[in-house]
Structure 1
Amino acid sequence: MGNSHKAILGLHGMLMLYSLSSICGKLAAGFSFLSVGFIVCYGGMIALLGIYALGWQQVIKRLPLTFAYANRAVTVVWGIVWGALFFSEPVTAGKLVGAFIVLVGVVLYATSGDDGQTSASAEGGDPAGRANGSAQDDGDGSASADGAAARAACNGEGGAA
């Protein structure tokens, strides 16, 4: 299996995990605030979201951000599945048609205008072909950092790159 396929499977695994956190949130809502049940369910939700955040960071390192965010729409499908399985919520024709439309939209978005970004990012390279932390010449003699300033800000270094 290629790196981009692994990254896409990882993306959907993270999205499933993200959607599972909603189950914990709904369960927590059934308990009195700060009761043991509330704390356990809410703690489970926070734990799942923490794991999701770490996994999401790894996924977006390998896939274009726009591609990853477009795929987040599949959580609508997981919501239908979890609602039916855990809360006996009805699965109606309208929900199924809506979920199908969302999935078609995700597929259309993901397959339209593929300019090689998915495979370049999945292999750990920059989609524009730059080395990490390098600057790109904008054609007018100036250069713009490709994320060095953002990385510096996240590391508490401040200032521009």
Structure 2
Amino acid sequence: MKENGKQKTAGLFLVLHVSLLMSSLSGVCSKMAANQKSLIGFALWYGGVLLIMALYALIWQQILKHLPLTVAYANKPVSLIWGMIWGTFIFGEKITWNMILGALIIFGGIYLVVTADE
């Protein structure tokens, strides 16, 4: 029975992190909208932001039904790491050593919060 609970928790964390990935993609759409020259291009990209965030909000509410709020919120900074990845691959931005150190600190903090109950 305990193994089934761990599988369920792992599934919830997977859904949580997929939703955070989606949230980070809204930032990509937002930056793309800001770079548009036409109102139509802006509206399409901004519509993408609204759609992604609406889906994210629905998934987030379901996650909060099953995970403690502190655990769910402790994982939110992962979207910053996704932002670094998107910035590099989509916009050609550079990742610095300070950014990598910050990401490691974020992951360390997430690990401490998630494993605090064990």
Query: 2:32 maps to which residue?
Result: 27
Shift of 1:43: 0.2
**Structure-to-structure mapping, 1:59-74, within 5 angstroms:** 59-74=63-78
CA displacement, residues 107-149 of structure 1 (integer Å, 9 cap, x when unaligned):
111111x16xxxxxxxxxxxxxxxxxxxxxxxxxxxxxxxxxx
Correspondence 1:84 to 2:88: yes
Shift of 1:75: 1.1
Highest RCO, 1 vs 2 (Cα 8 Å, sep ≥ 6): 2
Larger radius of gyration: 1
CA displacement, residues 5-31 of structure 1 (integer Å, 9 cap, x when unaligned):
111100001000001000000011112
- Distance across 2 between alignment mates of 1:37 and 1:111: 44
- Distance across 2 between alignment mates of 1:108 and 1:46: 33
CA RMSD across the alignment: 1.3
Shift of 1:82: 0.7
- Distance across 2 between alignment mates of 1:83 and 1:56: 24
* Secondary structure in 2 matching 1:91: coil
**Structure-to-structure mapping, 1:1-161, within 5 angstroms:** 2-32=7-37, 35-112=39-116, 114=117
The letter of the residue matching 2:114 is A
- Distance across 2 between alignment mates of 1:50 and 1:104: 29
- Distance across 1 between alignment mates of 2:65 and 2:19: 14
Gaps of 5+ in 2: none
The letter of the residue matching 2:77 is A
Shift of 1:40: 0.3
- Distance across 1 between alignment mates of 2:64 and 2:18: 13
Gaps of 5+ in 1: 116-161
* Secondary structure in 2 matching 1:90: coil
Kindly tell me the number of residue pairs found equivalent between the two proteins.
Answer: 113
Instruction: Give the helix-richer structure, 1 or 2.
Output: 2
